Structure 1
Amino acid sequence: MPRRSLPAHAARPAPPGPARPEAVPPVIRIRRLTKSYGHGDATVHALRGPYDPDTGAPLGVDLDIEQGDYVAVMGSSGSGKSTLMNILGCLDVPTGGRYLLDGIDVGHLDEQQLSLVRNRKIGFVFQSFNLVPRTTALAQVELPLAYAGVRAGERRRRALAALSLVGLAGRSGHRPNQLSGGQQQRVAVARALVTAPAMLLADEPTGNLDSRSTEEVLALIDGLNATGRTVVLITHEDEVARHAKRVLRLVDGVIVSDVRQAPVDGPPPAADRAEVPA
């Protein structure tokens, strides 16, 4: 029997429609996250979220942070902000719930794997700079790359580029005692950025700085976010939080306020001042 051919209009496949842009997953996604210390009646719920009205059990914290956002986390001592920072930075593990960092479920990783995530996915900036004494700015910035096994020539190239980004290309050979507080913190920022992390996590980054150095470092962070870098900043100062696009406030382990100050895909509120100091 001869094969019947399909009509021309049926044999011709329909042209594909326009490609739909894939949604970018959040850099941070946490669900029902809790952190408790102690046991029984002595249990302290450092991070708990609201209580279940029926059982009284903590329901945990839910939070998404999108790529390119700039989030300030605020709260007084004992509010849970340091606990949240330690979990977001993979420095501590939650008691319950789930945490995805750049799509990776970190709750199932062992300590060695967590160390790799910290080195590759998170850039840390601390209040105390954490620079190595008698070590040049260039060598400080190269350290994370050395831990990652990057070859010497590539380490130097990337470290110099990071120092240039924070306005310190001309001070690569200076040691911490030859730099001002603001310059030392900018070296710490360069070290945090050199691995191209998914998130810059800054814990009270201006806490040890005078007012001029504070403005320098905040302008630098503003400028980095304006180029698309995701920033999570822990602070207790309203003036620092005004630089962020979004402000979370914690009280007793609960997010009690979540205020959007600028759109995720726009510049930070202080972008007009976001210039890297010379």
Structure 2
Amino acid sequence: MARRSRAQAPASPEAEAAQQVPPPVIQVRHLTKSYGHGDATVHALRGPDDPQTGQPLGVSLDIEQGDFVAVMGSSGSGKSTLMNILGCLDIPTKGRYLLDGTDVGHLDETQLSLVRNRKIGFIFQSFNLVPRTTALAQVELPLAYAGVRAAERRKRALAALALVGLSGRADHKPNQLSGGQQQRVAVARALVTAPAMLLADEPTGNLDSRSTEEVLTIIDGLNTTGRTVVLITHEDEVAEHAKRVIRLVDGQIISDVRQGPVVGPPPVLARQLAAQPAAALIGGRP
């Protein structure tokens, strides 16, 4: 006698949604960073203290794919230490860090260099452009290190420059560009490898107000297309663009505020888009 197959119950909407959610780009667990020994030990990154032992428990956090996170804090708060660890420029004293599923704590310096090149796009306050080198060649550099062939490098670098509005400046050198244009070259260089995360360290610190808005508008647009952005800043006006704001004091997170949903445009751009229909009605019909 043939057995009748049992119909499989359909998965619940919650279960289907859980299967579709990608894992966090950043998973940090109990990270600490200390310098010195004994009584001279300085805990640059410590997290809360264990109520029983008084020892640092470390910093833990997740950053989802497509999020835009601003990390804020005054000098000595630990934000630069956290940035260096997230950027694989330094290693924690204790704890675990997974970047795009890769446990970077077990990698040697050569492997860390590959992770930095392929998974992280860096944007620095000082631009870090090579003197007497064209914008096109600046953007091609990460691809050259990754072994991408010349024709493909040029194609991808030109596309990245177009994305930041610098198609007509490809053959210009840093001394022929304004500060805002130089930072846009740096943004193009950061995104040309299609990294898992853009890590921006005070990206508007050396810019005037107009160039600041131009660069933040580009970063807003990149995040809207799904790029994960982690931005280090001490300026509230810059942090307003982020979907989530984390504040550090004395090496620990004291607040973690969600300003906008992970999916969709960041807050400032969302408000601008929402205001467009109303603005179009001002003045009435012709």
Whether these two folds match at TM > 0.5 is yes
Q: TM-score, normalised by structure 2?
A: 0.91
**Cα distance per residue 1:187-233 (max 9 Å; x no partner):** 00000000000000000000000111001001110111011100000
Cα distance, 1:267 vs. partner?
1.3
The separation in 1 between residues aligned to 2:21 and 2:165, in whole angstroms, is 34
The separation in 2 between residues aligned to 1:26 and 1:15, in whole angstroms, is 30
Q: Is 1:17 equivalent to 2:17 in the alignment? A: no
Q: Is 1:117 equivalent to 2:115 in the alignment? A: yes
Q: Specify the code of the residue in structure 2 equivalent to 1:172.
A: A
The separation in 2 between residues aligned to 1:266 and 1:255, in whole angstroms, is 26
Give 1:184's aligned residue.
Answer: 182
Q: Specify the code of the residue in structure 1 equivalent to 2:34.
A: S
The separation in 2 between residues aligned to 1:249 and 1:15, in whole angstroms, is 48
1:164-203 aligned within 5 A: 164-203=162-201
1:228 to 222, 226, 229: 226
Give 1:152's aligned residue.
Answer: 150
1:40 to 38, 41, 45: 38
Aligned length: 267
Q: Where does structure 2 lack aligned partners over 5 or more consecutive residues?
A: 274-286
2:71 to 70, 73, 77: 73
Cα distance, 1:22 vs. partner?
3.6
1:46-125 aligned within 5 A: 46-125=44-123
Give 2:238's aligned residue.
Answer: 240
Decide which structure has greater helix share.
Answer: 2
Cα distance, 1:14 vs. partner?
2.5
The separation in 2 between residues aligned to 1:257 and 1:194, in whole angstroms, is 33
Cα distance, 1:125 vs. partner?
0.1
Q: Specify the code of the residue in structure 1 equivalent to 2:2.
A: L
The separation in 2 between residues aligned to 1:270 and 1:137, in whole angstroms, is 29
Alignment partner of 2:147: what SS? Answer: coil
State the percentage of identical aligned residues: 82
Give 1:131's aligned residue.
Answer: 129
2:2 to 3, 6, 16: 6
Larger CA deviation: 146-155 vs 12-21: 12-21
The separation in 2 between residues aligned to 1:60 and 1:168, in whole angstroms, is 42
Alignment partner of 1:234: what SS? Answer: strand
Q: Specify the code of the residue in structure 2 equivalent to 1:185.
A: Q
